[in-house]
Amino acid sequence: MAHAAPRTRRAIERGGTTDLFSGRAHRAALVALPVVLGLVYGYWAAANRRYGGPVTGWNLLFGFLTALVFAVVLMTLLAVAPKLRREVHAAAWAAFCGIAVGFLFSQSGGSVLRSTALALAAAAGVFAVMFYRFYTREDSQGHRVG
């Protein structure tokens, strides 16, 4: 049988959850996470584009430019989206994810129609999940419930 871990009286009165990282670590993660995800995305797009052939200078340039654009758009989305209403907030994440998936698929040689269909399917799924998440964590005026 599982039991709750004991907590001190001060921890009980303080309430909330324990934050393992400092504010400095959280600020660093706001930059490091988009950069790392951008590099992974750029490598993936460049690998799709070369079709298993040799790595060229143009392929590297394409990968780094793709990584740069992805990271900048993700940082902008992380900064701006929380200030939006829940519907627009969910739509912004859905558009970002749909475009990212569609672009990756288009680099692998898929048709424009299949890329668009895949992007719309991914965007619809992300919109449903994100809208549900924001809807259940905000009150009727759009303020976050803590």
Per-residue pLDDT of 70-92, as tens digits, reads 999 999 999 998 888 888 999 99
Phi, psi of 6 (to 5 degrees): -65, 145
Q: Which residues pair with 144 in a beta bridge?
A: 138
Domain enclosing residue 27, as ranges: 23-82
Which pLDDT does position 33 carry in this prediction?
Answer: 93
Residue 38 within a domain: yes
One domain, residues 97 and 112: yes
Distances (CA, A) of 64 to 14, 35, 91, 93: 46, 11, 27, 23
Which pTM does this prediction carry?
Answer: 0.80
- Please, what's the largest Cα pairwise distance for the chain? 63
Q: For residue range 31-45, what is the model confidence (pLDDT) as tens digits?
A: 899 999 999 999 999
Whether 102 has a pLDDT exceeding 90, the answer reads yes
Specify the 3-state DSSP secondary structure of 142.
coil
One domain, residues 92 and 73: no
If one counts the domains in the chain, the total is 2
Residue 5 within a domain: no
